[in-house]
Amino acid sequence: MKKIKIKIGISDIILLVLSIIFLVGILTFFKTCGPKTDGSWMTCHWAGNVVTGLAAVLALISLVHLLIPDRKIKMGLSVSIIPISVLAILVPGILINTCMADVMRCNSIMKPSVIIISGLMIVFSVFDIFRYVKKED
């Protein structure tokens, strides 16, 4: 039986840490506005739900990226992170409306956090892709 050696690189760790911060953050301190006084939800709640799902997918992809030893599969996983991160950026405020007031939690905390973390995921994924492409040359 052949032993598989997992090489964990800095980009593996960074992508996993960012995605975990994203998922835990959107569930806790990046959370959207709470329910209205009548118990109904504002549209930002639904944006938060979609972003939570995307953050969970990014965390799963990042975990697999860490555990898979094959460079080509890692590169494919890095490529898949990019459109998911772009979608996460587009959800709050573009695909799903957020609250009208800029001081609301969804506009002042969630939206900037999603943009920053997703942007970092894109940057490190692109870095990771170029790193694997250079290794094949």
Counting the structural domains of the chain, the total is: 1
In a domain, 2, yes or no: no
Query: Closest Cα to residue 5, out of 69, 70, 75?
Result: 69
How does pLDDT run across 62-118, given as a tens digit for each residue? 999 999 988 899 999 999 999 999 999 999 999 999 988 999 999 999 999 999 999
| pLDDT at residue 111, rounded to an integer | 96
Is residue 31 one of the residues assigned to a domain? no
| Enclosing domain of residue 53 | 10-26+43-136
Asked whether the predicted pLDDT for residue 58 surpasses 90, the reply is yes
pTM score: 0.91
Does 4 map to a domain?
Answer: no
Look at residue 32 and tell me if it is in a domain.
no
For residue 89, which of 66, 62, 58 has the smallest C-alpha distance? 58
Taking the C-alpha atoms of residue 79 and residue 129, their distance in angstroms, rounded to an integer, is 7
Mean pLDDT, rounded, for 38-45:
92
Q: Is residue 5 part of a domain?
A: no
Residue 1, pLDDT > 70, answer: no
Using CB atoms within 10 A of its CB, is residue 46 exposed (0-12), middle (13-18) or buried (19+)? Answer: middle
